[in-house]
């Protein structure tokens, strides 16, 4: 596990480290790419990627928009976002309610796993809807809190440790700004903001011990280890989750629940 890099400038629950963002991208990038290809990112498009994190979707948008297009990436921590000839990167706390450092209109505005962390999420969706070109798309991805599920485990005791520790992580996250249910309200919020052709898609998959998915869960829990223990879970269980269960190929568990929602500004 790497050292935590103290780059967090907003009140965000995690720190951006490769051990978290690389497996997260491996889990979600194929799904997001498919969503973007379905929307169609025109050559020359103006794109905005909010909460860009490790920058994999920034890079995707940069490739799709091509040399005549532009991608603006914004995050409170930009140290992992790649540069590029058509990429501009800004540091901003998007929970502050301050105006964005760049104005629209945009063809595509994307934010994956950002708005469920922000208290101003509803207001931001309305603001972003107003930054779209006629016919432009807003694409938001969120994790929603769901019941931890084990597909297979070496023992029922290990299955129970997995369920209680993951629930402990969700308790710790939702005790701060993170909204566990927000993803279920995104589509109606987009409709309230005047967007049309809205659609929600759900995505779950199984994660095997040692795979990218379990490395994501391992890092999520490792980052919040002390808070989960302070919340009342035995340290030995939290440490077993991180050091043993998430690397054991006999563990097969259900992923975080991902929700992808799109809405279009009327042409």
Ligand X SMILES: C[S@@+](CC[C@H](N)C(=O)[O-])C[C@H]1O[C@@H](n2cnc3c(N)ncnc32)[C@H](O)[C@@H]1O
Q: Which residues bind ligand X (CB under 6 A)?
A: 10, 12, 16, 21, 24-25, 51-54, 56, 75-77, 93-95, 112-114, 117-118
Q: Which is nearer to ligand X, 77 or 107 (CB)?
A: 77
| Closest distance of CB 58 from ligand X, Å | 9
| Closest distance of CB 20 from ligand X, Å | 7
| Closest distance of CB 35 from ligand X, Å | 12
Tokens of 39: 């929307």
| Closest distance of CB 245 from ligand X, Å | 22
- Distance between CA atoms of residues 21 and 12, nearest Å: 14
Q: Which is nearer to ligand X, 94 or 153 (CB)?
A: 94
Q: Which is nearer to ligand X, 77 or 187 (CB)?
A: 77
Cβ-contact 196, 138 below 8 angstroms: no
- Distance between CA atoms of residues 190 and 138, nearest Å: 9
- Distance between CA atoms of residues 235 and 52, nearest Å: 33
Taking CB positions, which residue lies at the least distance from ligand X? 53
Q: What is the DSSP string of 38-98?
A: HH---TT-EEEEET-TT-HHHHHHHHHH-TT-EEEEEES--TT---BTTEEEEE--TTS-P
| Closest distance of CB 94 from ligand X, Å | 4
Strand order in the sheet with 70-75: 87-91, 70-75, 46-50, 106-112, 132-144, 257-264, 196-203
Q: Which is nearer to ligand X, 140 or 245 (CB)?
A: 140
- Distance between CA atoms of residues 26 and 93, nearest Å: 26
Q: Which is nearer to ligand X, 90 or 163 (CB)?
A: 90
């Amino acid at each position: 596990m790497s050292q935590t890099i103290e780059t967090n400038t907003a009140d965000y629950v995690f720190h951006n480290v490769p051990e978290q963002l690389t497996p997260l991208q491996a889990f979600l990038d194929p799904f997001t790419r498919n969503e973007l290809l379905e929307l169609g990112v025109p050559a020359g498009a103006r794109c905005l990627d909010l909460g860009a994190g490790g920058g994999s979707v920034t890079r995707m948008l940069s490739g799709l928009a091509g040399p005549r297009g532009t991608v603006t990436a914004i995050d409170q921590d930009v140290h992992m976002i790649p540069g590029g000839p058509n990429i501009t990167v800004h540091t901003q706390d998007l929970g502050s309610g301050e105006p964005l450092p760049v104005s629209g209109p945009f063809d595509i505005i994307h934010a994956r796993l950002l708005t469920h962390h922000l208290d101003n999420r509803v207001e931001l969706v309305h603001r972003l809807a107003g930054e779209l070109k006629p016919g432009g798309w807003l694409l938001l991805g969120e994790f929603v809190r769901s019941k931890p599920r084990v597909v297979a485990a070496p023992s029922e005791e290990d299955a129970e440790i997995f369920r209680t520790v993951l629930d402990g992580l969700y308790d710790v996250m939702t005790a701060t700004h993170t909204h566990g249910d927000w993803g279920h309200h995104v589509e109606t919020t987009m409709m309230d903001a005047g967007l049309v052709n809205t659609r929600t898609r759900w995505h779950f998959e199984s994660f095997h011990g040692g795979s990218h998915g379990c490395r994501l869960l391992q890092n999520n829990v490792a980052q919040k280890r002390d808070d989960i223990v302070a919340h009342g879970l035995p340290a030995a269980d939290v440490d077993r989750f991180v050091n043993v269960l998430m690397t054991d190929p006999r563990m097969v568990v259900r992923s975080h629940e991902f929700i992808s929602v799109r809405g279009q500004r009327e042409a």
